[in-house]
Amino acid sequence: MKVMKKVLLTALIAATPMMAQVKEKIEVPYIAFPIKMGKGFDVVQANCLMCHSFGYIINQGRQSKKFWEGKVNKMIVHFKAPITDKDKKVIVNYLFKHYGNGKEQ
Amino acid sequence: MKRREFFKTAAVTAGAAALGTTAAEAGVTHQPIDNRKVGNVAFPEKRPLITYSDRPPLLETPREVFTCALTPNDQFFVRWHMPDIPTYIDTDKFTINIKGLVKKELKISLKELKEDYEQVEVAAVLQCGGNSRSAFTPTPGGIQWGSGAMGCAQWKGVRLRDILDRAGLKKGAEWLAVQGREKAAYYETPNFIRELHLDELDDHVIIAYQMNGEDLPYLNGFPVRLIVPGVYSDSWIKMISEITVTDKYQKLFFMDHAYVVPDNECECETPEKLFPKTKPIWRMNVKSIIGYPENGAKLTLKSQAVVRGVAFDGGAGIREVQISLDGGKTWDKAILDSGKLGRYAYRTFRYGFKPKKLGKLQIMAKAINKLGEEQPLAKDIKWNHGGYKYNGIDVVTVEVV
């Protein structure tokens, strides 16, 4: 009986097409994250969205100015995002205004 | 040279004076965020999960799933780093390229992987090093995960060792650089590559094409990913494109800067005085999560209530899970499953009790592994700037009605 089972199982595996699950291009859905509008948003959109959704910003929660500065620096220094000094200031101000906790440090 | 020694040698010794710190400067640790709900959009091959980002996709598994020993593929968490992930793989043309210090370079097709090598299986937990990161204050960099950046699956594939044997290692071969197919928006952005030392390769390290008896879901690395049981998931490269054998370690952003902890005994530091030496995260520590009941659940007075959850560690195996219903004053043993999935998998636990008093009730779960290591209370976990390796005792508060 045990042998029989094994034979059946082998037959079943052999009959399974090699890659049957998804045969076409997958579509990753677009999620409209509820990002806040305000001064500097266009700059945030132009720079940040190149690499990641607004979900990343919202996920961080309310943070200090130093925190947001550190984040933007990380994108420039480590991820090599070509953000100009002028844009950096605008982005940090936007993030702190809308996703800040009121604390500088 | 072992990984740890290597980093000790490589690290700059300046600033070692930063060692001495006072309690007042320390960051604090608490229960991770646990009030997030699943989204209303299902990603490919997934049910709706807690959704942090669509590009790249970041999806967390809700707590209720952590009652099962194997996490269903469609509820398994998802974490990518780059905005451009391949959304189509031609399975007839796909190859894994083995190159560098090998006698024979290989381009292994999926068919060859499935037919020309010994097929092996291992059940293992895949957990992001930053799982539960929202437990740390001040907020460390990275995604603010709750406790659901983890899952356990039965993986099937081929031993990496067997593939390297087929290619044949040249003299001096010491390191492996494993690279996936996700791409950044800018050429200058560092690639997501993981280095493994050949000494770290045991027979459980496999290239897997199957997860819980099915093809890997695209978002979990279709068609093949690296499985490194007992180790955090930044080493489990998804959608593998190539493996390069080298004699020297290459310094890498994700290993040497992103996924690191302080290289000291407590793997801790303070926000004001970061420890100057770091090391890549590697083996997982002991952890458990209560899958049921959830925070805010209602239990009936004097009913037969059951607590269920999962426990795991870096491969030593779970010895015991204990439950406390009195804020940690007394602990009682939960019943563990048979453990037949092996030492790298979840052990499910269950604990029956009768709620005797109306009102709020705190349920705590603590896992102890076979080395005697046990989970600390959340508040006793020390802060680190990356928010890695949180393994605090899980607490859920229910209401007895």
Classify the C-alpha dihedral B80-B85-B91-B97 as positive or negative.
negative
Tell the burial category of B33 from Cβ atoms under 10 Å away from its Cβ (0-12, 13-18, 19+).
middle
- Chain B nearest C-alpha distance from A1 (Å): 23
- What digits encode the pLDDT tens for the residues B157-202? 999 999 999 999 999 999 999 999 999 989 898 888 999 999 999 9
**Residue A21 — pLDDT band, cuts 50, 70, 90?**
low
One domain for residues B191 and B324: no
- Chain A nearest C-alpha distance from B319 (Å): 34
Q: How far apart are CA B290 and CA B306, in angstroms?
A: 11
Q: Which residue has the tokens 């097929």?
A: B119
Count of structural domains within chain B:
2
Which residue range forms the structural domain that includes residue A94?
27-99
- Decide: B105 and B99 in contact? Cβ < 8 Å: yes
Phi, psi of B251 (to 5 degrees): -70, 130
Query: CB-based contact (8 Å) between B51 and chain A?
Result: yes
Per-position DSSP letters for A26-95, written without gaps between them: --PPP----PPP-TTHHHHHHHHTTT--THHHHHT-SB-HHHHHHHHHHHHHTS-----HHHHHHHHHHH
One domain for residues B14 and B129: yes
Half-sphere exposure of A89 (CA within 13 A, CB side): 2
- What digits encode the pLDDT tens for the residues B30-49? 999 998 999 999 999 999 99
Pairing of strands B95-100, B240-246: parallel
Query: CB-based contact (8 Å) between B52 and chain A?
Result: yes
Q: Which helix (H) or strand (E) holds B131?
A: none
Q: How far apart are CA B102 and CA B25, in angstroms?
A: 50
Is A29 in Cβ contact with B41 (below 8 Å)? yes
**Residue A8 — pLDDT band, cuts 50, 70, 90?**
very low
Report, as an integer, the average pLDDT of B251-256: 78
Task: Supply A43's token pair.
Answer: 């700059």
| CA-to-CA separations, A4 to A1, A8, A10, A15, B27, in angstroms, rounded | 5, 6, 10, 17, 62
Q: Where are the beta strands (DSSP E) in B63-221?
A: 78-79, 95-100, 106-109, 120-127, 136-137, 150-159, 175-180, 193-197, 206-211, 214-215
In a mutagenesis test of the B interface, which of A22, A50, A74, A83 is the best target, namely the one with the most B β-carbons within 10 Å?
A: A22
One domain for residues B101 and B233: yes
DSSP helix/strand/coil, B236: coil
Q: What is the DSSP letter of B167?
A: H
One domain for residues B276 and B345: no
- Decide: B235 and B226 in contact? Cβ < 8 Å: yes
**Residue A7 — pLDDT band, cuts 50, 70, 90?**
very low
Is A34 inside any structural domain? yes
In a mutagenesis test of the A interface, which of B33, B53, B82, B112 is the best target, namely the one with the most A β-carbons within 10 Å?
A: B53
Boundary-marking domain end, from B244, B260, B280: B280
Is A58 inside any structural domain? yes
Return the minimum-mean-pLDDT range out of A15-29, B163-177, B214-228, B327-341.
Answer: A15-29
- Chain A nearest C-alpha distance from B196 (Å): 22
Is A87 inside any structural domain? yes
- Decide: B324 and B340 in contact? Cβ < 8 Å: no
Nearest one of B177, B146, B165, B168 to B49, comparing CA atoms = B146
Task: Supply B59's token pair.
Answer: 């999806």
Is B57 in Cβ contact with A28 (below 8 Å)? yes
One domain for residues B183 and B263: yes
**Average pLDDT of chain B, as a whole number:** 92
Is A42 inside any structural domain? yes
Residue A55: its chain B contacts at CB < 8 A? 51-54, 58
One domain for residues B246 and B307: no
Res B11 pLDDT > 50: no
In a mutagenesis test of the A interface, which of B47, B181, B189, B209 is the best target, namely the one with the most A β-carbons within 10 Å?
A: B189
Res A89 pLDDT > 60: yes
Nearest one of B334, B358, B359, B361 to B348, comparing CA atoms = B334
- Decide: A91 and A98 in contact? Cβ < 8 Å: no
Which residue range forms the structural domain that includes residue B232?
3-280
Domain of A42, CATH number, reads 1.10.760.10
DSSP helix/strand/coil, B279: strand
Boundary-marking domain end, from B280, B305, B320: B280
Boundary-marking domain end, from B280, B298, B315: B280
Domain of B361, CATH number, reads 2.60.40.650
- What digits encode the pLDDT tens for the residues B79-93? 999 999 999 999 999
Helix and strand numbers, DSSP H then E, in chain B? 4, 26
Res A16 pLDDT > 80: no
Classify the C-alpha dihedral B244-B245-B247-B253 as positive or negative.
positive
One domain for residues B222 and B358: no
Is A6 inside any structural domain? no
Res B13 pLDDT > 70: no
One domain for residues B95 and B195: yes
Return the minimum-mean-pLDDT range out of A16-30, B37-51, B356-370.
Answer: A16-30
- What digits encode the pLDDT tens for the residues B370-383? 999 999 999 999 99
One domain for residues B313 and B247: no
One domain for residues B255 and B332: no
Is A78 inside any structural domain? yes
One domain for residues B87 and B199: yes
Q: What is the DSSP letter of B140?
A: P
| CA-to-CA separations, B152 to B30, B54, B90, B127, B212, in angstroms, rounded | 25, 23, 27, 8, 9
One domain for residues B311 and B357: yes
Q: Which helix (H) or strand (E) holds B68?
A: none
Task: Supply B109's token pair.
Answer: 């097709």
Task: Supply B198's token pair.
Answer: 């050949």
Report, as an integer, the average pLDDT of B347-364: 98
Domain of B229, CATH number, reads 3.90.420.10
- What digits encode the pLDDT tens for the residues A37-71? 999 999 999 999 999 999 999 999 999 999 999 99
**Residue B26 — pLDDT band, cuts 50, 70, 90?**
low
